[in-house]
Structures are given as C-alpha cells and as structure tokens.
Amino acid sequence: MSNKDLYEYALSLGDNALILGQRLAEWCGHSPALELDIAVTNLSLDLIGEAQLYLDYAAEVEGEGKSADDLAYLRDCLKFRNYLLLEQPNKNWGRTTVRLFLYSTFMALYLEQLQNSKDEQLSAIAGKAIKEVLYHKRFSSEWMLRLGDGTDESKAYVQKGLEDMWRFTGELFAMSDGEKRLCEAGIAVDAASLEAPWNAEIDAILVEAGLIKPPSQAMIMGRFKGHHSEHLGHILSEMQFLQRAYPGAKW
C-alpha cells in the first residue's frame, strides 16, 4: 500500500457520500409530501457531512495543502471515484427509494467493518457515519415495503427502479488493486465479502414487499478509472458552478 492508495480510498468514500448527498438534495422543495421534503434533505445533509470528513482526510493524505472543498468543487469527472449507481438520476420517488435502499443496506454492512480499520481516522468516521446510515437503511427499507406492497402504480415504479438500478450493483463488490492492497494491510474493507450478506438482506425485503429481484446480468463499472455515466457531468456542472464561475467565493 502507499499514500496514493489511501488517498484514492478516502476520496472514493467521500465521493460516494457527496454524490448521493447531492442527488438527494435535488428533492428539496419537490418531495411528494412536506414531511418527506424534510426527511430527504436530512439524509442529504448526513451524507454531505460524511463527505466532508472523508474528503478532509483525503486532502490531508494527499499533502498538497488542499481542502475538502477544493476536492469537491474543483475536480473533474475523470477524477471522481463514486459508484456509478449513485450518480444515476432520481427520476421519481420509487427509483430514489430503490437506490437508497440498495446502497444504504450495503453501507451498513460496509461501515460495520470499516469501524475496525487499522486506520484510526477512517475507523472514527465510520463510527459516526454508521448511526446515520442505519437510519437511511431503515427509512428506505420501510419505503420499499410501502411502495412494493402499496398500489399497482407504486409497485410498478419500484419494480422499474430495481430493474434500472440493478446493473450498477455489481460495482459495490468490486475492488481496485489499490483497495486490495489496503485490505491486506487491514485498512480497507473487503467489499467482495459483503456480497452474500447484502443479497440476503435485499432478498428478505424484496420478498416482503412482493417485488421481483432482477436476473443476474452484466454489471456496469468504471469508478476506478473515472469512467462515469453521462449523468455525473451534469451533477458536477450544477454542484461546481459557483466555484467555477466565481473562484474562491465565500459566504
């Protein structure tokens, strides 16, 4: 392992939280109910808070005097390391719920392990984040049941969401060479080992919600190389606009 490996790893953890946080924030003022507007922006702020901790650490490891803000607002698509799943558009509440459910079920397992990391900073961040993520998992699981077991229309939306999102779930369990080295050093989580327990948890909720698990299929990946879908560029153009147009602006 090297500092470069650790930098990329912290960056990846931060980018995941940042991009999903940004996606959820898009619901602000547009949620199906006032109660959900507050709920989903709470979740968004949890994630952006986590992103700040990871990216601060990444900047420290990189040692070039950058801040978390520099990494978030002044980096281009190719350098982002988030899962492709998280940059996919929200489209509707059903699909947003599916993505949050798939991801936070995974992250709850992931952070449980990351708490034991030999890297003290990562283990401390994981200890804080897991409490938030366990709530995200509860919230999205409950919504999977409400929508799956709700009306024909709500069921159709989540079923379609599952089918659209499933092709991006393989990436959750894939590890870069750098992550494998960190894993051997006791720092990174062995993501591949989480696939079986993740599937068991997902299956349990899908059965209860009356939803059909999509068939095995070719998975779309790209985060190690910065090969993102077209959607990340659109997120960044909105998220980074202010710092790009008015460099160094503060308020």
Partner 1 sequence: MSKGNWDLFEIFIRSKNGLSHKHVGSVHATDAEMAIENARDLYTRRMEGVSLWVVPSKSIVASDPGDMEHLFEPARDKVYRHPTFYKVPDNIENM
- Among 86, 82, 79, smallest CA distance to 25 is for 86
Residue 132 tokens read as 């938030």
Residue 59 tokens read as 């900047």
Nearest approach, Cβ of residue 159 and partner 1 (Å)? 15
CB of 146 within 8 A of CB of 208? Answer: no
Does 177 bind partner 1 (CB under 8 A)? Our answer is no
CA distance linking residue 66 with residue 72, whole number of Å: 10
Residues 38-77 contacting partner 1, CB under 8 A: 38-39, 42
Does 35 bind partner 1 (CB under 8 A)? Our answer is yes
Does 92 bind partner 1 (CB under 8 A)? Our answer is no
Place of tokens 């804080």: 128
Nearest approach, Cβ of residue 138 and partner 1 (Å)? 7
Does 151 bind partner 1 (CB under 8 A)? Our answer is yes
- Among 18, 9, 95, 90, smallest CA distance to 49 is for 18
Does 146 bind partner 1 (CB under 8 A)? Our answer is yes
CB contact set of 204 (below 8 Å; sequence gap of 6+): none
Cβ closer to partner 1: 34 or 196?
34
Cβ closer to partner 1: 42 or 176?
42
Nearest approach, Cβ of residue 155 and partner 1 (Å)? 11
Single residue of 33, 196, 200, 249 touching partner 1 by CB under 8 A:
33
Nearest approach, Cβ of residue 89 and partner 1 (Å)? 20
Does 239 bind partner 1 (CB under 8 A)? Our answer is no
Place of tokens 């991006």: 168
Nearest approach, Cβ of residue 110 and partner 1 (Å)? 23
CA distance linking residue 34 with residue 8, whole number of Å: 38
Does 174 bind partner 1 (CB under 8 A)? Our answer is no
Cβ closer to partner 1: 153 or 177?
153
# binding residues, partner 1 (CB under 8 A): 16
Burial class of residue 23 (count of CB atoms within 10 Å of its CB; 0-12, 13-18, 19+):
buried
- Cα 124 to its chain centre, rounded Å, is 19
- Cα 157 to its chain centre, rounded Å, is 21
Nearest approach, Cβ of residue 114 and partner 1 (Å)? 25
Give the interface with partner 1 as residue ranges (CB under 8 A).
32-36, 38-39, 42, 138-139, 142, 146-147, 150-151, 154
